Amino acid sequence: MQYKIPLVLTPQPEGGYVVASPLLPELVTEGDTAEEALANVKDALAAVIEGYEELGRRLPPNTVVPDAAGPVWFETMVTAP
């Protein structure tokens, strides 16, 4: 299943990045690089979903992408030369 969630990528003073979601406050992960931190979101989201299921909670509305074959609006960071 695919999910669409807002993410905030925050550089840390000691190095690395933290990724959190204002929509899912339980979702917090980190990485040494922005790419690594964003890659870790998949595992963090899986843990949040598992926790919600154990508690009998539902994810907020509009987080599940109903048609994975259709277009999805998202924003991302791109590094260009």
Q: What is the pLDDT of residue 62?
A: 85
- Among residues 42, 40, 38, the alpha carbon closest in space to that of 50 is found at 42
Q: Is the pLDDT reported for residue 64 higher than 90?
A: no
Number of domains in the chain: 1
State which residues form the domain around 43: 8-55
User: Who's near 15: CB < 8 A, 6+ residues apart?
Assistant: 32
User: Does any domain span residue 20?
Assistant: yes
Residue 79 lies in a domain: no
pTM value is: 0.84
Q: What is the dihedral of CA 76, 10, 23, 74, to 10 degrees?
A: 0
Question: For the segment 23-54, what is each residue's pLDDT rounded down to a tens digit?
Answer: 999 999 999 999 999 999 999 999 999 999 99
77 pLDDT above the threshold of 80: no
